[in-house]
A = this chain, B = another copy of it.
Amino acid sequence: MSKRYDSDKVRDLVHRIYRAYGFTEEQSAEVAKTLVYTDLHGIASHGVQRMVMYDHFIQNGKIRVNSRPEIVKETDVSAVVDANFGLGQLNGIYSMNLAIKKAKAHGVGIVTTKRSGHYGIAGYYANMAADQGLIGMSSTNSRPAMLPTHATQAFVGTNPIAFAMPAEPHNFIYDAATSTVPQGKIEVYRKLEKDLPAFWVAKDGDQEINDHNDTEDLDALRDPLSNVGLTPLGGVREETGSHKGFGLAVIVEVFTSILSLGNTSTEITPEDLQVGPCQSFIAIDPAIFGDVDQIIKRFSEYLQQIRDLPAIPGKKIYVAGDKEAIAYEDRKQNGLEIDDKTLAEVKAIADRLGVSYGALDMA
């Protein structure tokens, strides 16, 4: 079950929890903003749902509260950042701001960040650039979760690709795991006690797992050495394009762990405190190609042409960012949708930290 909660009250609670961990006022505000932004846009898998995981990492020292990211190599158009195991969201904001600065000065900025942490939705960082009139892209690697085509062991991360660009009536924001669904989506379905509606999880390479009660197999998803993994975008067969989703995940690995010489997916474990995921942040100024107003107008018209196509009866055509914009209007007015288990987890964290936990209901 999930109920509705006031986004401002939730943001305030998250803020106070992060202050209690020892983050600065500004850092806590930024983290609370990213997590609530995510729930406001309807992406429940990566919002406050993720707090219990971060809490675990802050407690075991995998997330280091007092560390700061530093630039270890830099050119006019690029940088490598060592995140020193700070909180992923803070590294992400730092790194994307660096890419944006370079794009504004030199047209393009490509930043790759190593020894980071789970940074939430990649789309948040891509959209930071779009909000400033630029094209933004971001990706992260992650612990082994996806099955390479024909493999019986999870190996690559779910490695999302995010791309954002200014458009009317709202920014185009693409943010998608290169697996059929991200890890967090499985967690949400399990919390809601719903069976998986498509071939999202495979055992032994090609056996479909759908039953949410199949605890043993679904728990094994979190074990990088197991024979259970997420399917690549395109499924598990070459005929359906499995190698395409898997290949995109490898490309993400290049921009994150390979270019930064950080940890590849296979080296990332929740236990080892000396390893962390890597992320990439790209900003491009469309002005280096042509008149920005004209470019955005043309793009917006193209997107509208797509929305206006004839559709399958009972279905609607969305372009990337549309559903999130609709969710935002709804959540802003009617509150965030948070499931009972997640809320209980957050309350337990607040209680343990001695953070006062008032009612979060809509006023």
Residues of A participating in the B interface, judged by any CB pair closer than 8 Å:
73, 75-78, 80, 106-108, 110, 112, 135, 148-153, 155-156, 161, 163, 165, 172, 174, 176, 180-181, 197-199, 204-206, 233-235, 237, 239-241, 243-245, 247-248, 250-251, 253-254, 257-261, 264, 266, 284, 286, 288-291, 294-295, 298-299, 302-303, 305-306, 309-312, 315-320
A163, A303, A306 — most chain B CB neighbours (10 Å): A306
Determine which of B110, B151, B286, B309 lies in contact with A151 in the assembled complex, contact meaning CB atoms within 8 Å: B309
Q: Chain B residues near A151 (CB, 8 Å)?
A: 306, 309-312, 317
| Contact (A244, B240) CB under 8 Å given A77-B77, A151-B311, A250-B172 | no
- Identical copies of this chain, number: 2
Question: Which residues on B sit within 8 Å (CB–CB) of A254?
Answer: 135, 163, 165, 299
Q: Evaluate contact between A290 and B73: CB separation under 8 angstroms.
A: yes
Bound-state CA distance A80–B75 (Å) is 24
Which of chain B's residues have a CB closer than 8 A to the CB of A174?
Answer: 247-248, 250-251
The 6 closest A-B pairs by CB, nearest first: A205-B312, A198-B239, A150-B315, A259-B289, A151-B309, A78-B288
A317 to B250, CA, bound (A): 14
The answer to whether residues A77 and B149 also contact, given A174-B251, A266-B305 and a CB cut-off of 8 A, is no
| Nearest CB of B to A110, in Å | 7
Contact residues in B for A233 (Cβ distance below 8 Å):
233-234, 241, 244-245
Q: How far is the CA of A245 from the CA of B174 in the complex (A)?
A: 11
